[in-house]
Structure 1
Amino acid sequence: MMKKGYYTKIAGLGMFLLVLVAFQNYSKAGNENFPEVKFISENKSILELADFDPNDLDEKQWQHLGFSSKQIATILNYKKIVGGKFTSKEQFRKCFAISAEKFAELEPYLALPENNKEAASGNFKSFEKKTITVSGKFNPDHYSAEDWIKMGFSEKQADAILKYKSYLGGSFVSKEKFKECFIISGENFQKISPYLILPENTPANFNKYSKNFKTEKTKILYHTFDPNILDLEGWKSFGFSEKQAQTIINYRDRNLKGSFKNLEDIQKCFVISAEKFEEMKPFIKLSSVQNNENQKHETKQQEKTDFSKVDLNAITFKQLIEFGFDEKAAGSLIGFRKKLGGFVNKEQILTTYNIDPELTQKLLSTAQLNTSNVQKYTLTEAPEEWLKNHPYFKYSADRIIYYRITNPDDRKIWKYLKLKPEYETRMRLYTK
């Protein structure tokens, strides 16, 4: 009997220990840090935005706004749940597939009232949908912003359509791709589609990142021109991209010290293909004789240069050579000045690459600096091309262009940019 009681106690103690261990494991599990659930993040490569009605968008158009397939399915299901139509920004924001960050990005462009109360009362800014008018068959690849505006799109929408074309690689490619532009509603696509001079379907070999994919060439209307005075827009009008045009100008101004001396100089520029050169050749008129006379005149003047009277914003390549700069340093200084649009203070000149600091300091203490002709802009007025090419602004250009669409206030834009103090200081040298 005693043995039986002893074993009974041992068994009871064992059961107690098992229960205790199980409880401890349960407690640990309750305190365990499980992995945080995260929704699929949006694609950051968003296109240029413009006012749009989210009720008009199909799956492809949501995709081009940066949403994943799962997020799009959730958004479209949510739209069905709320009655088949988003009635306000407030309602749209409640869709859990749209993060707070994404909503903040899209909110200024949503053609919806702020909340359901405004929607019911009708006391909100109405986003009137303009009538789209098509006069006849056309190739959308050849349309400018002005052409899209004439058709009935707003200025912002026209700009967004052109940005979408650029995103595709410079051509709409097909009606299928054209339809995917989120600015083009289903209703407007049905109206425009019969007039589009585009294939119905996207070619199987299409890749917007492929340089080998060829789109229809625009016929270039050449005219007699002097390559030594042709500016960026002039080269672009001959079919060169903006980067190619800038490369040609840099080649002329830096490598050739300001002018093409003969046709061979033009032919040697690596962005001008042999085929392109032959196209342009009959229209090229070099003012070589006049250039040589000007150079001789400059040389005579430089022999007697009084550098105390020279303006650093006008000093020439040859004058820098005369002062003691080598060709590389002189070219760098002239090139940097041109990119800036002129120096605002002498300290900037010391940041030029390839220069001798001591020799440059000597020049700065001798020569004058006239800043009266340096172009300055407000952030809201600065041309896009200027922002994207200026050494101090080009890295913030896209954000400035984005912010000023809905916030045309320089103080707010500076605040949104959140720049390092030294970067902002440099940029403010060229703003009003």
Structure 2
Amino acid sequence: MSFHIQFSAAKNYFLGFATSGTILFSSLLYFNSKNQPSSSPTFKTEEYIASEKFPLKEFNPNKLTEEGWVKLGFTERKVATILKYKEVVGGNFTSKAQLKKCYAISPEKFNELEAYILLPETGSSSYKSYSSGGYKSSGNYSNNYKTFKKKDLIIPGKFNPDNFSVNDFVKMGFTENQATSILKYKNYLGGSFLSKEKFKACFMISEENYRKMAPYILLPENTPENYSPSSKFKSTTTEKAKTAYQSFDPNTTDFEGWKKLGFSEKQAQVILNYRDRNLKGSFKNMEEIASCFVISPEKMEEIKPYMILNPENFKTISSKKQEGNYTSESKASSVEAKTDFSKIDLNQITFKQMVEFGFDEKSAAMMLSFRKKLGGFANTQQIIDTYEIDKNLAQKLIAIARLDQSKIVKYTLSDAPEEWLKNHPYFKYSADKIIYIRSTSPNNKKIFNFIKVKPEYEARMKLYLAQD
């Protein structure tokens, strides 16, 4: 009986000790968990894991290898994206702002690295030198970067572009060539841009630049009704011509003679081309003169009383050419005059054939140059839209000649060569954006959604795009 009581007491003692130990151990575990910093590996982004192992120090992102980016805490996949973006922007990062745009670098990660990045805050044509890491600009990169960096406009407040010189546009941020072309366009309009609408239509002014300038331009919004190019010049020359008319023979009147009658240089050249090539050297009657499209009915009525058609001069020009040893040239002209323009392809027409049709040399050169830049005309409207071309004569040409677009080389936006994108008139202003986005979205539709061009510009681009 005594043995049984002792065994029960020992049993109770052991159970109580075990229970107390369990409670004490559980309390210790609970206390430690409350005082330890919480770790949430499920919420930890993978790009930060490695950065804890390698202390941060100043670095030049243009000199980092793949291993260097990994040591900064990026995964191999993110590193590949960063290096691809580096190639897209020209082979080197130009600023912290540019690097920040890389979508593989989260805003949080960029904030962590920003203080250690050896790059200027914003891009510039030349880099600052940093003693830490020995970072300096390289001449090779400077040249390469020109392709990608767009110069920001400096707008001097409210301004009237009619009063701007080449130097004024250059100071604003345009190149000298662009400024010269803008002024040529103004002269074509008659010496004034007339309206914001016409100013915006200048092909040298991009949509982005126009949006920046629009609030400051001192011009009316819309073009006056019944406006025609160079109308100011026409009225001026006509008034001068009224006081200078004298009797003249249109078959012996030279280039300067037609100018003195109130015609522009371009018009005078067209009249001579029409007389010497289309009519083989001479006007035979008043109807032939009136049929020259640069001589308006009003102008014809003004000069008609002073014209004398002397039959003795009806082939004077041809005979002079023969006497001056121009027999071969005369023969060539007569052969050229027989060109059947209904069989001519507008994508193959030559400089000589255009001059034969009546275009002056400058217009012919402008049209062929535009055709070359486009890689061929995709529709006839492009011919009419050629800068500084005689639109009435162009209308007559496209009504007669045919247009074969079958030889135009087309690409998709994902495989178009960079050089082609940057030089083509319809793509060059969006080239950088296209090159950037197609590295991740090689699809025409997605790329168009990204670059956000106007519908009419997208329609022009699609003339030279192959289907995906």
> TM (normalized to structure 2)?
0.34
Higher relative contact order (CA 8 A, sep 6+): 1
Structure of higher CA gyration radius = 2
> TM (normalized to structure 1)?
0.37
